[in-house]
Amino acid sequence: MEKVQEFDQQLADQQVDRLRVVLEDLPYVVDSTVKLFIAGNSEERELAGRMGSWRSNNSDLQAGCSEVLDNVLDLRRVLESSNFEEVGQSVAEEDDDVLF
């Protein structure tokens, strides 16, 4: 039984470590993706410019993406301020409930 709990704790610790890595990279991924999407290629910008909607859509998109990025950063701050050992223990306990 002790080995099972030890294994569950190791698994929970690994999941927390993976979450930490994802959260560290997420703001950069979102920012890069937004910049690529906004920039687009020159043909898309030209076409959108001809349609007369590029500027208004672009500013709306930038505002929305900025809000998403702020939310991601807020989530990251909350998770960084959390005690990861408690989170890992909680995950291990939930796994115990499911397994037994």
What's the mean pLDDT in 73-100?
Answer: 61
Please say if the pLDDT value at position 38 is more than 50.
Answer: yes
Q: How far is CA 67 from the centre of its chain?
A: 14
Q: Highest mean pLDDT range out of 14-23, 31-40, 54-63?
A: 14-23
Instruction: Examine the pLDDT at 6 and tell me if it is beyond 50.
Output: yes
Mean per-residue pLDDT of the chain: 67
Query: Is pLDDT of 79 > 50?
Result: yes
Buried b (16+ CB within 10 A) or exposed e, 51-90: eeebeeeeeeeeeebeeeeeebeeebeeeeeeeeeebbbe
Per-residue confidence (pLDDT) for residue 100, from 0 to 100:
44
Lowest mean pLDDT among 5-9, 55-59, 94-98: 94-98
What is the average per-residue pLDDT within 74-95? 62
